[in-house]
Structures are given as C-alpha cells and as structure tokens.
Structure 1
Amino acid sequence: MRELKTRYMERLSDLYPTIASASTEIINLQAILNLPKGTEHFLTDIHGEYEAFSHVLKNGSGSVRRKIEDVFGNTMSVRDKQSLATLIYYPKAKMDMVRQTETNMEDWYRVHLYLLIEVSKRAASKYTRSKVRKALPKDFAYVIEELITEKPGVNDKDSYYNEIISTIIRIGRAEQFIVAISELIQRLIVDHLHILGDIYDRGPGPHIIMDKLMKYHSLDIQWGNHDVLWMGAAAGQKGCIANVIRICARYGNLDILEDGYGINLLPLATFALREYKDDPCTCFKLKVPERPDSQEMQMNLRIHKAISIIQFKVEGQIIRRRKSFGLENRALLHRIDYEKGTILLDGKEYQLLDTNFPTVDPSDPYALTEEEEEIMERLENAFTGCEKLQEHMRLLLSKGSLYKVYNNNLLYHGCVPLTKDGEMRETEVYGKKYRGKALYDALETYVRKGFFALDEKERTEGKDIMWYIWLHPDSPLFGKDKMATFERYFLAEKETHGEKKNAYYSMLEDEKVVNGILREFGLDPEEAHIINGHVPVKKKDGESPIKCGGKVMVIDGGFSRAYQKQTGIAGYTLIDNSYGLLLVAHEPFESEEAAIEKESDIHSELMVVKRVVKRRLVGDTDTGRILKEQVQDLERLLEAYRNGEITEKL
C-alpha cells in the first residue's frame, strides 16, 4: 500500500512538479470551493417537443428572468425586463423585429449592449475567470472578457470601455456581438442539465433535441422507457424496431425516421398499401389533427396496421425464445379464433373490432411472411447502419444511465419496483435475482452489453433486455402489470385496456418507503430527495408534484402535447441553485414566433420546494467533495516535497 501511495505521489508530481505549482493549485481549488453552487436544471418527458424544449433551455426555466431581476430590480419596468429577456432568448429574431420600427438602431444597440453586459457580469459572477473564459464565444472572447471584468468606479477606464462599445457599433458588428453575449448568458445561467428520460416518441423532433444535447456544455441523462426502446432499435432488436415505427406511425411522425434519420420505409409502405388496400383500418386511427381523407393519412393508417401486426408476431417470437421473461400472457395471436373473430383472455371471450388478418397463418400465427421477414431484415440494417442514429445513441450511452445520484438527489425516470407491502420487489433476470439498486445496475449492464459485448450470446441478451425494459411488469422504467397495446387496438371493452401501476406509485407519500429507497441508493433520508418523471402529474385534478413532504418530486407535468389535456399544464421543470429547490409549472408553448412577438415566457407558476438558510457553495456539492480530495492529495505532495520523499522537478 505504501508503495502504491508513493507511486501515486510520483504521478501527481508530474502534473505539479514544484512546491510553487502545487501551492498555486491548492489556492485555486480552495477558492473554487467557496464560490456559490452552480444552477442545476431538471427536465423530463420531453417526448420530441423540440420548440418548447428549446425555449425552456434558453430561459433556464425562468433563471434568465431572475437574473435580470437581480441586476435591475425596480430600476427597469416589467415590460422592459420582459423585452430584454426575449432578446437574450432569441437575439437574431428579436433584432429583425426591432429594425422594422426602430428609427435609431445605433442608440438601441448601445443601450442594449450595456444592459446585456450587466446581466452577463452577474451570470459570470459565480464562476472562476478560467471557467468563464472557456465559455466565451471564440470570435468575441477577448472583448467580452474585457467588458464583463470591468470594475465599477474605475474612472480612468470609462473611456476605454465606452470606446469598445462605440467601435463595435461603428464597424457594424453590434448584432453579432449581441447574439454572442446573449448565448453566453444562456450558457452561464445553467451550470448543469439533467434530463430524466423520454426524449423520444410522440412529438415531432426528438432528433433535433438530440442534436442540441450533443452540443450542450454539461449534462447527464437518465434513460426513459421510450429512450431505451430507441436504443434497442438502434442495436437491431426487432421487437424494439417494430414498436418505434408503430409509435411514429400512430403519432404521424414517420418523417422522423425518413427525414430525420434517413431510414427507408418504402418497402414497408408498399407492402402495407397492397395487403391492406381495401381495409379501412378503423382501429388504427392516428393521433394527429390531419384530414382523415388525405392520401398521406390513408397510407399512414395502413403502415400503422401493417407494422402493428408485425410487432405482435415478432414479440410473440421473443416471448417464446425468452421463456424466463415470463410474458406468455402477452403473446395473444394464438388466442384468436380467426373464424369467429374472437379472442380468449383470462377465460373470457371477446369480439374483435377488426378481423382482417391477411398475413397471419392461424396454424403458426407468429411466423412472419417471407415479405415481412425481408422488410424486418432491411429495417434492422437501416437502424444499425444509420450513423446519425448511432451517434445519438452514443450520446445516450456516454452521458446516460438508468439512475444517477447527484448532489444529494436520486434521479430516475420510472420507479423502484415494490411489493404491495412496500418492500423491494425481487426480479429474476437471466437466472439471477435482483431488487432495488442491484436491479437497476444489472439492467444497465445488460443494456451496455447489447451494444458492446463481443460475445454474440451476451450481445443478444443485452438487446432483448432493452425490449424487456420497455414493457416488462418488473421493469423500473415501465412499472405496470402489462402493456395493453393489442387490447387497446382490437377490443372495445375498457376493462381489458387497464394497465395497473406498480405499488411504488401509491406509496410516494409513505415516508418509511421513501426513506428505504433513499437508503438503498446510499443517501441520507433526512437530506436527500427523489426526482422522478414518467407518470404525468394531473394538476387540473388537484394532484401535486411534491410528495412525501418534499422528499419526492415527480416533475412530469405534460411537456408532451399529447398529455396536456390530462395534466392541465405543459410540464414541470426543477431548478436547484445555491438558494434551494424551485419547481416551475409551465403554460403550453404556442410557438417561437409568438414568444418573440408577444415577448411571452411559458413558465407560469413558481413553487419553492426548499430554501436553505445558508447559501450553498461548491464545497457543499459532489464536485466540492472531489476538489477537497484533490486538495488533500496536493497537501500530501507538498509534505512529500518538504520532507525530501519526492524531489522537485525544477
């Protein structure tokens, strides 16, 4: 052990070869520990709503407005503060609009440059100069650094700073500078972003959201069940591929696949139009406001039905191949009486709403036809060979996980599966039993094997686990007794549509249960919180996102338009800053154009979940703990230099 410590000190001395360099780094780290804690921003269940996501990202769930309020307070009117915030969110579009009415743009530039500099100074104040410098836009880095590090009351430099502003305007660079400093404010206002899952499905732009996240300065992602479904599809798992296409078809979003990812759906479309040419496909109505008689709608209806039938076949094959999953009750095609048009479920016979199954062989209902087989092979190759999709999946794998413990918060998308008595539910995965944190860890390991394992058997197990995570009753990302996709398409009886939630969701007010979950993940129940997505909070019915006296926050409030009628709002987001926890309820986002023209914001209600007595510093965070360990190591290095154990490298 002593030899190992000596070797570590030697390696550390390569980085800090002298007493002076080690001492300087200790001073630097100690200073950072005493800066205010950076702002964390939590979003969940975005479901492809890229315009609303982009706006919330730009405004930091009201963080920009709060910063403007801190700087200008009562010295600026509410309307002017609103206008300045809009400029920060959408600088190019806002200036295009201003030019149409403003008679003296030079004065307007001058006034707003000074306003933006003041806001950026405040936004940069909680960071080291080095960190701010790294965030500066390359084209204006030196100039912005000069302006935002100006010290008040230094009169002999007033003309210097004024001349910088005047020159920026005179040489025609004011608009580019305003864009640069606005984007800097957006960048500094949030130190770290947490996405609690379900980036994909329902909305029209998950690929656009992923492109934005690829460029984001600091983030982590807790996978949602819809994200893992897309991961499985990208890995080539056919059950996941069929589900992804079915959901895109159902929500009128096939262009995500075709235009966003370049996946060719023509063979599927050709097959669907031929096989279901005279079928009205009334059970497969799309969740879009499009004209029902349009040619595109009619084609999408048939694609929707064709891929659904393929999905039920492929899933039946998986269920029979993976008997250990215990999903025999979800293989339903062999339970159909094709002559009578009925199905037998739990000992009761139900009449099917749709009895046209031209591609199903009643003697072998899970067998794909030759053409279906070929279509699925081509789709598998398209998904696994799409570089953009694979790039997005690499982001999910490198920045993502099934759960995360961060600054005393436990983050996950779905639930911790529980028994009806509130105990951790034991689940068998490939012959081994897990529960609680161990279940999360095991499932995540298998997901990664689905992409990276060299052994084909292990890789296939990993791929199948992604499908398992999507719909299994014991999956922490699903958390219901069944996924009633077939019943909701084919049966009128509502009793067959039910998906009973895991006991977890009825126990979020039970402090004993919540404390047990926090301890399971190594957290102190007196200080920690669970932050959770997945199940929309129905605010219109009086439901609160804050559970168990503030220990649990369920922040899915309906970011997706598909849920907003149920929830009554357009989603919750959470801010964790140096003063405490703030929960923000959002109004529906109309459009980017409306946000600029009306200078409106979409956050409507702010709830203080927790306010700290003493402002939290970097030293109070996980990063602070790491920095303190580095300080201790450097102090040991200083001691080694001074007592002659290690020689300075002068």
Structure 2
Amino acid sequence: MSNNQSNELIAEIINLEAILNLPKGTEHFISDLHGEFEAFNHILRNGSGSIRDKVYTLFSQELSAEQMDELCFLIYYPEEKMHVLKQQQLLSQHWWFQTIEHLLVIVRFSSSKYTRSKVRKALPKTYAYILEELIYQYDETTDKKAYYRQIIQKIIELDEAERFITDLAYLIQRFVIDHLHVIGDIYDRGPHPDKIMDSLIGYHSLDIQWGNHDIIWLGAVSGSKACLANVLRICSRYGNLDLLEEAYGIDLDHLKNFSRKTYQENMHFIPKKNPYRTLSITEITDAMKIQQAMAIIQEKLEGQLIKRRPEFQMPHRLLLDKINNNQLVIGDQPYNLINTCFQTIDWSDPYQLTDDEAFVLTDLMQQFQHSQKLNQHMAFLIEKGSLYLSYNHNLLIHGCIPLNEDGSFQSVDFNGKKYAGKNLLDFFEANIKQAFAKPWQTEDFSTDIVWYLWCGESSSLFGKKAMKTFERYFIQESETHVEEKNAYYELRNSSDVCQHILKAFALNEIDAHIINGHTPVKLLKGESPIKADGKMIVIDGGFSRAYQKVTGIGGYTLLYNSFGMQLAAHKPFSDKETAIKKNDDIISTRQIVDRQVKRLKVKDTTIGASLINDTRTLKQQLENNSHFFSN
C-alpha cells in the first residue's frame, strides 16, 4: 500500500469519526394509512408538525402567528400556495425577497445536523452552487452581505423566484425528516393507496413493515387466488373499484357481467360510503353484486386451501359444507342464515367453482400479474419491506408476536418443523419473498402461507383465532362475529413481556421499545397508545376515516430525534384545498415518550454501528500498511 493510499485511509477515518459525533437524524414513524392519501401527504409534508415547530422557533419574535402559518403552508405546498397568492395579487418584489430570506434561514437551521456532503447530494442540481453559497458562506456581519442580497435579487429579476422557492420548500421537507418508517397497512378502505405508494417510491429514505392488508395485495400478485378474492371483495365493500380500474388498469367487465347476471340487489352488501366522492347508482349496484360474488368465491377458494393444507389446522373454518336448510350449526348452536346469496353453490360439492367463476378468476389473476403499475408497487413493497425491523434500539412490527397466555412464544408446526417468536417471523418472511419471486406457482406452499398470514391463527399479521367474514355477512347474532385476539394484545401491557420479546430480537438496551400498528387505539374509551411503562407504543390512531369514530382522532405518528421520542396525536384532516386556502394545519398534540439524558449522536444508532465497524476495518488496514513500511 502506497503513502497516498495511507493518506486516503486517514482522511476517511477522520471523516467517519466526525460523522459519528453529529446529532442523530429525525425518524418519522407512521402506520395504518389505509389509502388515506391526503392526510398522509399532509403529515409527510409537515413532518408531523416538525416544520411548524422550526418556523415558530425561528420567527416568533419577527412574524405574527398568521404570517408564520402562511410560511408553513408555503413550505408544505409551494406550488399550490403561490398559485393562491397570485390569484389574490399578493406577490410583490418585497414578498419574493423576504420569503426567500426566511426559507434560507430554515434551510440553514434544518440542515445543520448533516454533513456538507449529504446536504450537497440533496440540493437541486439547478441551484446547487448558489444554494451552497447561501447556506454555508452566509454571514450577515461580513462585507459579503451585499453579495448574498444581490444573488437573491438576481434570482427575482430573472423570474426564477417561484422555482427557487419551490426547491427551497422541498429541501426543507427533506432535511426535517431523515428517515421514514411505515409500519404497515398502506392498502384497503381508503381510495388512494396507489398515490401513497407513488409518494413512497420517491421518498429519500424509508423502510416498510408489511401489514395484513398489504399482504393480500402482495399475495394476489404472487398468485394466491384466495388473496385475490379478498382484495376484490374489500374494494367493492368500500366503494373503491375505481382504484383497480383507473389506477391499476384492471378491466372488470367480465366480473361485472358475471355479477349482474348472477346476483340481485342485496342491501346487506351495499358499499360503505366513499368519503371522497359520491358513487353513481350503477357503481353502487355493481359494487353490491361484485361483493356478493367475491364473498362466495372467497369462501370456496379458502375452503379448497384449508383442505389442501391440513398443517394450517383450520378445519373449523370449513363452513359451506355445514349448511343445511339455510342453517349453520356452530358448536351446538344452530343459526339461521340471512342475506344469503348462495346461487352458485353446488351443495354436493360446495367448494367447487362454477365454470363462470373460474373464468372470471383466471381473467382477474392474469390482469393483476400483468398490471405494470401494480407490479411496480408490489416490487417496491418487497424491496423496502419486511415483517419486522430492529432499528435504533426499536422493534418495528405491524401486528404481533404470537404468544401463549403465560407470555411464552406460541409455537406452530409447518412441514414437521416448529417455529416460534423471531424464527416464526423469519419463516413467514422467507415464504413471502419466495412466493413473490415465483408468481406462476399458484397453489404451492409459499403462496398459501401468504394467505395464512391474512387470517391464520398463528399469523403475526392477523393475531386472532379466526376471521369471521362469513358470520358477519350471513348470521345476525353478533356473538358469532367476535374475533378472539391473541394473548399478545393483552400481555403487551406488561413491561416484563415486552422486555422478553425485545430480548428475543437481540434488543437488550434500556431504552428499547416495541412500536406497533394494526389495532386502533380507542382514545375515546380511555386507552393509551403508550403501554408497558413506555416499552410499547401503538401508533394506529385512525388515519382511516372508517376508524375515526372509534379512535376520536385522525391518527398517531411518532418522532424520534436526538433529544428523544415524541408521540403526536393529530386531528382529522379536512381536505387539501381547504387546508391551503385557510392555512388549516393538522393540529398535533405532542406527548413525550422518552427524553434522553444526553443528546443522541450518530454513533448511538444502527447506522452508527455500521460506521464504527467500517472505521475499525480502515484502522486495521492502516496499521497493516504501517507494519509493511516499517519492515
């Protein structure tokens, strides 16, 4: 090794050790989005209130509350806000100049915890040199003040101010949040999971933990007919068939024609109200009939799968062959069936699809597997996703770690081998990836496991004994609708149990937490999102409008910066247009979860651990080089 190479090693060691002593970047945790793009998009743009905090910190002595709110919304929605201000004829030369100066102050402040190299990579190419000058060389006490003011003035004179302000706004959004964690359930219920996925694909740094609703979409593209039936049923139930047709290019004509000729209007299957638009009479009628069609196809397919996989231990969910004279016996209790739509069932072979059902299903599966945009989104879920993540002393998981009543890990036998705890989740994850890699295999074990994760008793994503879809559709008595939860959901209130789980995932630090989604926190009933003396944090607070009557809020998010953790509870979002016109921000109530005694640095993080290992390797190389020259 040459002296030049040694010098390069020394420089890199100095650089890495300097980075290790920078403040830890801000992590943003978000969960259970359920297609609610507008609320998600606003929270993403305002960093769960982080931008507002910075604006009020920097300008509370200089600007009024109204002016600071205006500045916040300019940062959140620069193009839209400037369009509104143009219409109101409020964009003067003074406004352009003052706004650029204010935004530059925020850029300097929010980028101060990053290396110059990282900041440079984030700068828009068009203005990279100018911005670097304005960010790093700026000092109002020097003779360069006139130089900096001239740069800004020239930007305005060249009609570049609008573009420059837009770039500054997005740069602030980029610097305020260093890394995003999405803890599951991007899909179902709300109308625009596709727009959420497009936003995530363009985001600078993130990871995703799959949710149970994400897994059925992954399963459908991976070849699971049972998952496909669930996706279609849920889309029709929530009036979101246009998501399939318009966003993903799925032609539903064959399904619509089959449903129209086979099923009648049945008010029990009327779609839930779409919060974003009013469905036409035709759309309501089609959704009503398609939901019936897919409910029956789902029951048939799941019955076939349960018979094919006795190791799943789900014979109690074989219900169609237990129906007699429109009655179903559960335990010793007979129940009359209501709202029935059983016209395609052959009672001598109730789980067999009709020729028409098989044709429709084959058509839909081919379209799902050939939709370019849908496959792009699912491939991104696979690339960035996992069932769990250990990151910066926290265990991120959407659902649960299946437990027995005594707090021990629930063991399940697949193909003669037992799995529990971390090993169970690793087993599930390996099968998800294998199924996605071979979508042409539609009835193999891995593909069937993906469906099991949707509704199996030992699934870490489901976490209940049985999914009672059939009972909710066809039995009036509500006691049959109850889905008994895994012991995890009660035991997670115990700090000892949480510590036991964390230890199994090699998270032994005092400040380790489990961060959960999946189950909405019922704030109206007094439930707290912070459990087990702070070891467990549940951040499903109701982004989905379907849950907000239960939760009483519009969602939880979590922020974890160098000073500790803060949980943010958000009011429900109105809509983007109203918010921009009225500067109507999502008001967030903050609650400190964990306050650090000393400020966290990069060296205290997962990335820091990797950098420390890199530094050790470089030092060893340098030492070997020194020995070489001394000999």
Q: Give the TM-score taking structure 2 as reference length.
A: 0.97
Corresponding position of 1:361: 346
Structure 2 CA distance for partners of 1:83 and 1:353, relative to 1, 3 Å: same
| CA drift at 1:510 | 1.3
Structure 1 segments unaligned to the other structure (5+ residues): 1-12
Choose which of 372, 379, 383 in structure 2 pairs with 1:394: 379
| CA drift at 1:151 | 3.3
Corresponding position of 2:624: 640
Residues 1:119 and 2:68 are matched in the alignment? no
Structure 2 CA distance for partners of 1:504 and 1:92, relative to 1, 3 Å: same
Choose which of 505, 529, 536 in structure 2 pairs with 1:552: 536
- What pairs up with 1:299-318 in 2 under 5 angstroms? 299-318=286-305
**Segment drifting more, 140-149 vs 541-550:** 140-149
Residues 1:273 and 2:257 are matched in the alignment? no
Q: Tell me the amino acid that sits aligned with residue 532 of structure 2.
A: C
- What pairs up with 1:150-299 in 2 under 5 angstroms? 150-276=137-263, 279-288=264-273, 294-299=281-286
* 2:432 and 2:450 in contact (8 A); partners too: yes
Q: Tell me the amino acid that sits aligned with residue 146 of structure 1.
A: E
Structure 2 segments unaligned to the other structure (5+ residues): none
| CA drift at 1:103 | 5.0
* 2:344 and 2:354 in contact (8 A); partners too: yes
Deviations along 1:377-416, one digit per CA (max 9) or x if unpaired, are 1111111111211111111111110000000000000011
| CA drift at 1:453 | 5.4
Deviations along 1:435-480, one digit per CA (max 9) or x if unpaired, are 11010001101111102259959x8211111100000111011001
* 2:223 and 2:441 in contact (8 A); partners too: no
Please give the alpha-carbon distance, in whole angstroms, between the structure 2 residues aligned to 1:555 and 1:103: 40
* 1:482 and 1:500 in contact (8 A); partners too: yes
Corresponding position of 1:333: 320
Structure 2 CA distance for partners of 1:301 and 1:645, relative to 1, 3 Å: farther
* 2:181 and 2:206 in contact (8 A); partners too: yes
Please give the alpha-carbon distance, in whole angstroms, between the structure 1 residues aligned to 2:321 and 2:14: 72
Please give the alpha-carbon distance, in whole angstroms, between the structure 2 residues aligned to 1:406 and 1:521: 11
Deviations along 1:199-219, one digit per CA (max 9) or x if unpaired, are 000000011111111111100
Corresponding position of 2:409: 424
Q: Give the TM-score taking structure 1 as reference length.
A: 0.94
| CA drift at 1:123 | 0.9
Residues 1:77 and 2:64 are matched in the alignment? yes
Please give the alpha-carbon distance, in whole angstroms, between the structure 2 residues aligned to 1:454 and 1:364: 28
* 2:48 and 2:588 in contact (8 A); partners too: no
| CA drift at 1:73 | 3.8
Choose which of 43, 47, 58 in structure 1 pairs with 2:30: 43
Please give the alpha-carbon distance, in whole angstroms, between the structure 2 residues aligned to 1:624 and 1:590: 40
SS state at 2:143 partner: helix
Please give the alpha-carbon distance, in whole angstroms, between the structure 1 residues aligned to 2:630 and 2:79: 57
Runs of 4+ that moved beyond 4 A: 289-293, 453-457
| CA drift at 1:634 | 1.1
* 2:32 and 2:518 in contact (8 A); partners too: yes
SS state at 1:71 partner: helix
* 1:436 and 1:520 in contact (8 A); partners too: yes
C-alpha RMSD over aligned residues: 1.8
* 1:36 and 1:578 in contact (8 A); partners too: yes
Please give the alpha-carbon distance, in whole angstroms, between the structure 2 residues aligned to 1:173 and 1:203: 38
Q: Tell me the amino acid that sits aligned with residue 425 of structure 1.
A: Q
Residues 1:370 and 2:355 are matched in the alignment? yes
**Segment drifting more, 101-110 vs 362-371:** 101-110
* 1:291 and 1:297 in contact (8 A); partners too: no
| CA drift at 1:527 | 2.1
SS state at 1:474 partner: coil
Corresponding position of 1:630: 614
Residues 1:352 and 2:337 are matched in the alignment? yes
Structure 2 CA distance for partners of 1:429 and 1:74, relative to 1, 3 Å: farther
Corresponding position of 1:3: none
Please give the alpha-carbon distance, in whole angstroms, between the structure 1 residues aligned to 2:336 and 2:592: 52
Choose which of 110, 135, 142 in structure 1 pairs with 2:97: 110
Residues 1:575 and 2:562 are matched in the alignment? no
Residues 1:503 and 2:487 are matched in the alignment? yes
* 1:61 and 1:603 in contact (8 A); partners too: no
Corresponding position of 1:485: 469
Paired residues in the alignment total 629
* 1:292 and 1:298 in contact (8 A); partners too: no
Q: Tell me the amino acid that sits aligned with residue 562 of structure 1.
A: A
SS state at 2:628 partner: coil
* 2:400 and 2:463 in contact (8 A); partners too: yes
